[in-house]
Structures are given as C-alpha cells and as structure tokens.
Amino acid sequence: MKLFLKIWRQKNASTKGKMMEYTLEGIESDMSFLEMLDVLNEDLIARGEEPVEFDHDCREGICGTCSLMINGRPHGPDSRITVCQLHMRSFNDGDTIVIEPWRAKAFPVIKDLIVDRTAFDRIQQAGGYISVNTSGRPVDANAIPIEKDAADASFNAATCIGCGACVAACKNASAMLFTSAKVSQFALLPQGQVEAADRVLNMVRQMDLEGFGNCTNTGACEVECPKGISLENIARMNREYLAASVKG
C-alpha cells in the first residue's frame, strides 16, 4: 500500500519542531506499525537523511516504551494494544497518517517522537513500594492467604506498563490513572496496608509537583489504556487519599 505520513520532527528539547511529510510505498498489511517506520527510516538513510527517532524496545506490547500519537489517538486506532502491536492491516492504501509524540508539559520532547517520561519514575519513587529489605527470611509466602478476588484485582492494577498513554489521552494531561494503579495494587494487598496512608499522600504530591493536570473524570485514559486499567482505580485512590488526609 501507499501511505502519506505527516511526522513530528524536532532536533532536541531546545529546538522548535514541525510536521514533515513523507510518502511511502510498498507497505504490506502484515507489517507492524513500527516495522513500517523501519522501512521509512531505511529509505531516509539511503537518501542520506536522518531517520525518524522513536522509542521502542520489546515490540511485543509489554515494556511500555513505544509512545506514538497516531491520528490523534495514543497507540493508534485499535484498542487494548501498544503501537508495536498495531499492524498495517488497520490502515488502507492511500491513507494519510499523522504521527506525533505524547503531548504533555510533564513529558518534554527529547527528539522527534521521543519524550522524557522520568516524571513517572519520580512518582513511583515517592512511595510506590513496600518497605521490606531483602533478608531471605521474611514470612513464608503462604503465611498470609489473600482472597483470590483481591489478589486478581491487585494484579489487574499492577498490569500498568507505564507507557503514558493515559496522560497523552487526557485533555488535562493528568496522571491519575497511572498513579492510582500503583496505589491500588498495594491498597488491595495486606502487605500494602502498613504504609498505605503515606504512600497515597506522597505519590499524589509528587504527581502534582511534576506538572500533571487534574482529573475531570472524562474517562479518556481508560479507553486508551493498552492494558485496560480501570477508572475504578482512580475512585479507589481518591478514597485512600481522603482517608489518609483525615487521618492526617
């Protein structure tokens, strides 16, 4: 198929970027979207131009590295997948495809389609853990039975891959879905109770410091999340936050 691409090009964080147009032919429907970009880059290299830089790594939908806004949607038109799992069979011959980086104040562009998501790391560092040292002598793993439903719900929250699609999808660039997923994972487990109050307060504080916007419950994040993280997590975090604030 033949495609018309409009791609955001930006040299580095301090330079202004712009959309550039490329025409690409010979794309097969069973290529992945990133393989289509590989083809484009090989063409550019052959012409002596600089290839388009984009983040990607596992190419199987689990590492959360790839981060493209495709025709205005994070990870493109299909649901519940990352860009690397998107295949060209989702497009038609002659389509125009607009490709941009995540847009958020807290995710500055590094180059072309690559953004800096270290704000997410700092939110996790603020409290996204259980304080237990490696001793080799903690209690036996089966000493505390955990109700299957709670364990499953915790797992579902823990499946977040930290890609940032929730922020990119949100008109306020809010990181509530991301932050609440981690808060929920621990809030649902007995091991997470001890530090629950400090955790939610510290993580939310850091989230605000990073410059993410507020949540206005539009639910766009849930729709675009490749792992289907539920809005219920945001509700749970709000409850946890309120309880922790009152406890003070």
Q: Give the nearer residue to other proteins in terms of CB position, either 82 or 174.
A: 82
Interacting residues with other proteins between 88 and 117 (CB under 8 A): 89, 110-111, 114, 116-117
State the minimum distance, in angstroms, from the CB of residue 120 to other proteins.
7
Question: How far is Cα 183 from Cα 116, in angstroms, rounded to an integer?
Answer: 23
The residue (of 215 and 236) whose beta carbon lies closer to other proteins is 236
Q: Kindly state whether residue 21 participates in binding other proteins, applying the rule CB under 8 A.
A: no
> Which of 19, 58, 209, 235 is the binder for other proteins (CB under 8 A)?
58
Q: With contact defined as beta carbons under 8 Å apart, do 65 and 53 qualify?
A: no
Identified binder of other proteins from the candidate list 118, 214, 216, 245, rule CB under 8 A? 118
**Measured from the CB atom, is 19 or 151 closer to other proteins?**
151
DSSP states along 89-124: GGS-TT-EEEEE----TTS-EEETTEE--HHHHHHH
CA-closest candidate to residue 8, choices 95, 117, 103: 103
What 3-state DSSP class applies to 155? helix
Q: Under the criterion CB under 8 A, does residue 151 sit at the interface with other proteins?
A: yes
User: Binding-site residue total for other proteins (CB under 8 A)?
Assistant: 80
Specify the amino acid at residue 40.
Answer: L
- Residue 46 in the binding site for other proteins (CB under 8 A): yes
> Of 3, 5, 8, 55, which one interacts with other proteins (CB under 8 A)?
55
Residue 20 in the binding site for other proteins (CB under 8 A): no
Strands (E), 103-227: 109-111, 114-115
Q: Of 16, 18, 94, 142, which one interacts with other proteins (CB under 8 A)?
A: 142
Give the CA dihedral 37, 39, 45, 47, nearest 10 degrees: -110
Give the amino acid at 8: W
Q: Which is nearer to other proteins, 100 or 182 (CB)?
A: 182
Q: Which of residues 177-236 bind other proteins (CB under 8 A)?
A: 185-186, 189, 191-192
- Residue 76 interacting with other proteins (CB under 8 A): no
What CA–CA distance (Å, rounded) separates 35 from 13? 26
